Amino acid sequence: MKNLLLASGLAAAAGIVIAAAPASAYTACNGQGDCWHTDSRVHFPGVTLSFHDDKWGDKNRNNARYHWHETDNDHDWHHGYWSRGEWHSG
């Protein structure tokens, strides 16, 4: 019985640690300085994107070289990308 309780306690603790782990998040940018938040490294034919962690995005949020775009119902990063300030459905 003691082993069962110990195993249950360890499984519960592991579940808490896994649930507390942060989700992967990225900032995607193109060569023209358009940047947006993603949770995966998306790829589109003929489009070159660089990916950075969220710390990089936070650090560069006020850098005038970059133009930040937010995800909304009309701009879903799963299905498109920004280029030269315009949204392109992918």
Domain ranges of the chain: 23-89
Question: Does 61 have pLDDT greater than 50?
Answer: yes
- What tens digit of pLDDT does each residue of 11-49 get? 444 444 444 445 568 899 999 999 998 888 888 899 999
Backbone region of residue 11 per phi and psi (left: phi > 0; alpha: psi in -120 to 50; beta: other values): alpha
- What's the CA gap between 25 and 19, in Å, rounded? 16
26-63 residues labelled b (16+ CB within 10 A) or e (exposed)? bbbbbeeebbbebeeebeeeebebeeeeeeebeeeeee
